[in-house]
Amino acid sequence: MVTAIPTASRPAIWPWLAWALLLIVVDQLTKQWILAYYQLGDFTPITGFFNIVRAHNTGAAFSFLADAGGWQRWLFTGIGVVATVVIVWQLHAHRGQRLLGLALSSILGGAIGNVVDRLQHGYVVDFLDFYWGTSHFPAFNVADMAISIGAVLLILDELRRMRKKSGA
């Protein structure tokens, strides 16, 4: 017979939501700073491989669908809203799993940060520009970093789970 764990003794979801909120705040503050001090295309060289730049991305990762005519703004906003609901549900269902919680809440904070941009501006503000010679990696932001780190942590969590199942 399986007995349910009383809700009072289950770990809280609030630390994960607080982490996501912190990421959203840092993301939005950095983007507001870029919008206040840089015009579109302006950049400041920092090192021989890194610039701060103001770029606008109307598409998704790597500017996917950036030239689609405007409808993609609502598609990616909708995807972000659906992802938010699913992630909060998963955080609630798996709140005792720390690595999974950190992964999901990082993705949550990043997704919401970029949705805020799409709703507010119609594009995502990017400003981190890494390059080698004349080849530039697509510019990105704090939200993108949070999503990427969260995705890596999801993979690590799954690998760890698979290893435990196999008894290794």
pLDDT tens, position by position, 25-42: 999 999 999 999 999 999
In a domain, 107, yes or no: yes
Q: Percentage of the chain with pLDDT > 70?
A: 85
> Looking at residue 123, what DSSP letter applies?
S
If pLDDT is split at 50, 70 and 90, which confidence band does 117 have? Answer: very high
> What pLDDT sits at residue 96?
85
In a domain, 91, yes or no: yes
Is the per-residue pLDDT at 56 higher than 70?
A: yes
Q: Which residue among 27, 117, 129, 144 is the active-site one?
A: 144
Q: Which residue among 27, 117, 126, 157 is the active-site one?
A: 126
Q: Which two tokens stand for residue 154?
A: 């999801």
Q: Which residue has the higher pLDDT, 71 or 163?
A: 163
Is the per-residue pLDDT at 77 higher than 90?
A: no
How many folded domains does the chain comprise?
Answer: 1
Is the per-residue pLDDT at 63 higher than 60?
A: no
In a domain, 129, yes or no: yes
67, 58, 65, 60: which is closest to 121 by C-alpha?
58
| 157 annotated active-site | no
In a domain, 62, yes or no: yes
| 129 annotated active-site | no
* Phi, psi of 136, deg, nearest 5: -105, 135
Q: Are 123 and 113 in contact (CB under 8 A)?
A: no
Instruction: Out of 25-39, 76-90, 132-146, give the one with best mean pLDDT.
Output: 25-39
In a domain, 49, yes or no: no
> What pLDDT sits at residue 74?
72
In a domain, 87, yes or no: yes
List of residues 6+ apart from 112 with CB closer than 8 A: 20, 24, 80, 84, 143
Report the distance separating Cα 20 and Cα 52, nearest Å. Answer: 24
Is the per-residue pLDDT at 45 higher than 70?
A: yes
In a domain, 2, yes or no: no
Domain that holds residue 129: 34-41+54-166
Q: Are 74 and 60 in contact (CB under 8 A)?
A: no
In a domain, 17, yes or no: no
**Count of Cβ atoms closer than 10 Å to residue 30 Cβ:** 18
Is the per-residue pLDDT at 94 higher than 70?
A: yes
Q: Which two tokens stand for residue 119?
A: 């709703």
